[in-house]
Structure 1
Amino acid sequence: MDKLSASRRAVLGASALLAAGPAVAAGPAGEAEAKGILERYHSFGDKASGGPGDEASGAWLEGELTGLGYAVVRQPFDAPAFEGEATLATGQAMAGLIPQAIVTPTLAGGITGPLHGGDRDGGIALLVLPYARWSTALGEVERRVRAARGDAVVLVTTGPTGEACALNAPSDRKLFDRPVAVLAPKEAAPFVSASASGEAATLSMPGRSFRRPAYNVTATLTRRPSGKWLVLSTPRSGWFGCAGERGTGLAVWLMLAGWAAKANLPVNVALVATSGHEYEYQGGELYIAKVAPKPDETALWVHLGANVAARDWHERGPLLAPLPSADPQRFLLAAPKHVPALAAAFAGQPGLEKPYPVNPAQAAGELGSILHAGYDPAMGIFGSHRFHHTRSDDLRCVSPALIPPVVAALSKVISGAF
């Protein structure tokens, strides 16, 4: 009886997978597809919301989804933007900065005054942040900037790469009423020395702070007009090239969209690739509020956030050497009933092999918004790889081989979820 039951379960399990549709491409075919997506996304350049790269990547995705049979509709909105450059100079030292959004520019001549640690009026406060993988100006950064004195503030985002990290900000208000910018730790030494003795420095950040059109790419595939929905979401915008931060999640998302279009799933499918991500998930919030299926209409929401499958690095002092494995600082959260299936499907995949029950207080990014809006069950991946929010988040940070295992695991869990 036990052997017969085991055999019957195996047959039923295989039948369920066959009913769900064709298997996700694995091996060379899957890697080739992932490589094409990663390279195409990276080719559009910087992905700041509403900028040329964001616009072009959105139009590309619209074409891909239309070709898969989805009905595609843009969800328009406007996002903050800044045109200008920023530098900090003292003595013989000069360094480029990342202007902190929403940007308060300086006048053409900049701000000149003593460089200090934020403990005096006037001049420029230099705040060296503790070691972390920085991503947002909310929370600790906001508190430190507000507590600092000075006419302007320069932040040093100390972290694993020595590079400056762009920091997310709200879309509807300025966090700071004075110019704030970010300096790379690897260039900070002369400025830290100058701040210790109060030497004069000049912060120059002239330019134009404005708003511009942006849009979410939304798509649907309706099989059962009165049925429930599977929602697949991912952000597509970000501060720079975002190959690891955004590209890996987008590759998994697009491959899942192709699979879901062919699979015989007993649900309708809704897709969204959001802009406005770096403005505290602006596009994601708008999608939830105005376009997404309601929670009681949704059978499952799967979100692909940051660092879905970026590569890991060996750290050798200031030198980093890329590894073929995935950065384990990626987190998989899900409704408790799906945790066992996810643990089995993701066994052996660094970081994702340990899924956690969802907790809205611990979820980051858009996944937190999804949970707070009442979507249950939901699951999602998020994290911060070493080059998160830096200018060097390029194709060196990704490996096509890391994408298909994530797609295969998620498609397996989704198939068994209904």
Structure 2
Amino acid sequence: MQHPIQADIAAWDEILDHRTGSSGDAATSAWLASAIAAVGAVPHIDAFSFDRLIPQKCSITIDEQCVDGVPLFDCLISPLVEAPLCPLAIGKGIGVTTFSPSARHPGTEALLQAREKNLHQGIVAISEGGTEGLSLLNADQFSRAYGPPVLQVDGRHKDSLMRAATNGLTGRMSFEIDQQSTQTSNVQTTVRGTDPSLAPLVIMTPKSAWWTCTAERSGGIVAWLACIRHFAANPPRRNVLFTANTGHELGHTGLEHYLREHKNLGATAHAWIHLGANLAAVDSILRFQPSNDELSTMGITHLAAVDIHPGSFASIGARPGGEACNIYDEGGQYLSLLGSNRWFHHPDDRWPHSIDLDRITRITDAVVGIAKDLAA
């Protein structure tokens, strides 16, 4: 199976910008639809209206130093904020803190709490991801923006910005952001089962990201395509619905659209397989998120058969991470896989250096096996 997986990863990586609503996002939909049609299934590109934010010049200026950055996409934006800088814990002016794309990073937790309290005039968030540079934070509340303006900046500016905050220097934050009314899209197909009276299996994965994000996103994509190819050649007993959703980085916008268009499917599907982030990443620590004991046993058995052993487990009954949380909120049953990635949300997450091809090949084999059992 390694050859088609490598080809799928390379095809993903050739599209440089996978941000929701971008031309690259549209190109991804077209590519996935073509891959679906190539095995005799019928693709559906489900386009819907979307208001896209396009940052232009966004920066913080202190004395003569100007540091460019990227705004959080779910904060309330003011074009210009001028105030003294201070450590975030002070709770006033322009707060300065560190963060990571991981919600469990203490700086990220402090940032989220400060945004909820809304005491600052603005916040400068300094990236501390697994790789030097700027790793962006997802905008989980994209449709319900809140809190002060937040500018995310490259970690190389940490020392100078922290020093400026300690000394109470005045900073000037400026945000130039264009808004574009456009369309974005999910990609779907259905493989009909021999007994359509049975509740369907749904297999989903995100298809958008901040940058190219190859290790983050391509693992889910290749396993999703492998399941389509398998069932196109081997009809399942129950219907299997496939959806690759845009808007992952913006509050799961595409999945929310899908669930609105398929009312009650969240709760009534036989099960959902969620193919989440970083399954293809080098040194990824797999996180396993099942909704019940039966799905847990099934998933662990198939993963162990290919010598894949999760390093992290979500407790049954606890709200999971990633798009599986939407299914949890709907009262549905799910098996969710995701992992870690030192290039998480970073521009340098590219083929081949961020990819463990052997590992994602084995994970894909396990996912197909799980899907076969659930579709029976």
Do Structure 1 and Structure 2 share a fold, with TM-score over 0.5?
yes
Rg larger in structure? 1
Q: Aligned AA for 2:182?
A: R
Separation of aligned partners in 2, 1:267 and 1:354? 31
Separation of aligned partners in 2, 1:349 and 1:100? 39
User: Which range moved further: 385-394 or 340-349?
Assistant: 340-349
Whether contact under 8 Å (1:49, 1:275) holds in the other structure is: yes
Question: Structure 1 stretches (4+) deviating beyond 4 angstroms?
Answer: 103-106, 134-140, 348-351, 353-357
Per the TM alignment, residue 336 of structure 1 is displaced from its structure 2 partner at its CA by 1.0
Separation of aligned partners in 2, 1:91 and 1:295? 53
Q: How does 1:5-154 map to 2 (within 5 A)?
A: 30-83=1-54, 84-91=56-63, 93-102=65-74, 104-107=76-79, 110-118=80-88, 119=90, 121-122=92-93, 124-129=94-99, 133-134=102-103, 140-147=110-117, 149-154=119-124
Q: Aligned AA for 1:336?
A: D
Whether contact under 8 Å (1:88, 1:96) holds in the other structure is: yes
Separation of aligned partners in 2, 1:102 and 1:80? 13
Q: How does 1:266-281 map to 2 (within 5 A)?
A: 266-281=237-252
Separation of aligned partners in 2, 1:252 and 1:143? 36
1:382 paired residue number: 338
Secondary structure of residue in 2 paired with 1:101: coil
Separation of aligned partners in 1, 2:92 and 2:111? 19
- From 119, 123, 130, give the equivalent of 1:160: 130
- From 321, 330, 333, give the equivalent of 2:287: 330
Q: Give percent identity, aligned residues only.
A: 21
- From 211, 224, 236, give the equivalent of 1:265: 236
Q: Aligned AA for 1:271?
A: F
Query: Per-residue displacement from partner, 1:366-416 (whole Å, max 9, x unpaired)?
Result: 11211332323x211123322212222222211322222112112223333
User: Which range moved further: 159-168 or 191-200?
Assistant: 159-168
Per the TM alignment, residue 46 of structure 1 is displaced from its structure 2 partner at its CA by 1.9
Aligned residues: 368
Secondary structure of residue in 1 paired with 2:143: coil
1:226 paired residue number: 197
Query: Residues 181 and 384 from structure 1, CA distance in 2 versus in 1: closer, same or farther, beyond 3 angstroms?
Result: farther
Per the TM alignment, residue 340 of structure 1 is displaced from its structure 2 partner at its CA by 2.6
Secondary structure of residue in 2 paired with 1:217: strand
Per the TM alignment, residue 303 of structure 1 is displaced from its structure 2 partner at its CA by 1.2
Separation of aligned partners in 1, 2:136 and 2:309? 24
Separation of aligned partners in 2, 1:135 and 1:243? 23
Relative to the length of structure 1, the TM-score reads: 0.79
Whether contact under 8 Å (1:235, 1:277) holds in the other structure is: yes
Query: Residues 384 and 95 from structure 1, CA distance in 2 versus in 1: closer, same or farther, beyond 3 angstroms?
Result: farther
Matched, 1:340 2:297: yes
Q: Which runs of 5+ in 1 are unaligned?
A: 1-29, 313-326
Per the TM alignment, residue 53 of structure 1 is displaced from its structure 2 partner at its CA by 1.1
Secondary structure of residue in 1 paired with 2:323: helix
User: Which range moved further: 297-306 or 275-284?
Assistant: 297-306
Separation of aligned partners in 1, 2:110 and 2:179? 24
2:310 paired residue number: 352
Per the TM alignment, residue 192 of structure 1 is displaced from its structure 2 partner at its CA by 0.7
Query: Residues 157 and 350 from structure 1, CA distance in 2 versus in 1: closer, same or farther, beyond 3 angstroms?
Result: farther
Per the TM alignment, residue 330 of structure 1 is displaced from its structure 2 partner at its CA by 3.0
Query: Per-residue displacement from partner, 1:8-53 (whole Å, max 9, x unpaired)?
Result: xxxxxxxxxxxxxxxxxxxxxx222111111111211121111111
Query: Residues 97 and 385 from structure 1, CA distance in 2 versus in 1: closer, same or farther, beyond 3 angstroms?
Result: same
Per the TM alignment, residue 357 of structure 1 is displaced from its structure 2 partner at its CA by 6.1
Q: Aligned AA for 2:223?
A: V
Separation of aligned partners in 2, 1:310 and 1:218? 25
Q: Aligned AA for 1:133?
A: S
Relative to the length of structure 2, the TM-score reads: 0.87
Query: Per-residue displacement from partner, 1:60-97 (whole Å, max 9, x unpaired)?
Result: 10111122222222333334422213222324543321
Separation of aligned partners in 2, 1:237 and 1:70? 22
1:245 paired residue number: 216
Separation of aligned partners in 2, 1:133 and 1:103? 18
1:411 paired residue number: 368
Query: Per-residue displacement from partner, 1:245-302 (whole Å, max 9, x unpaired)?
Result: 1111111111121112112421222110001111221211221232378367633321
Query: Residues 294 and 207 from structure 1, CA distance in 2 versus in 1: closer, same or farther, beyond 3 angstroms?
Result: closer
Whether contact under 8 Å (1:105, 1:207) holds in the other structure is: no
Separation of aligned partners in 2, 1:355 and 1:179? 35
Whether contact under 8 Å (2:279, 2:286) holds in the other structure is: no
Whether contact under 8 Å (1:156, 1:182) holds in the other structure is: yes
Q: Aligned AA for 1:346?
A: L
Q: Aligned AA for 2:199?
A: K
Separation of aligned partners in 2, 1:80 and 1:330? 33
2:262 paired residue number: 291
Q: Which runs of 5+ in 2 are unaligned?
A: none
Separation of aligned partners in 2, 1:228 and 1:258? 21
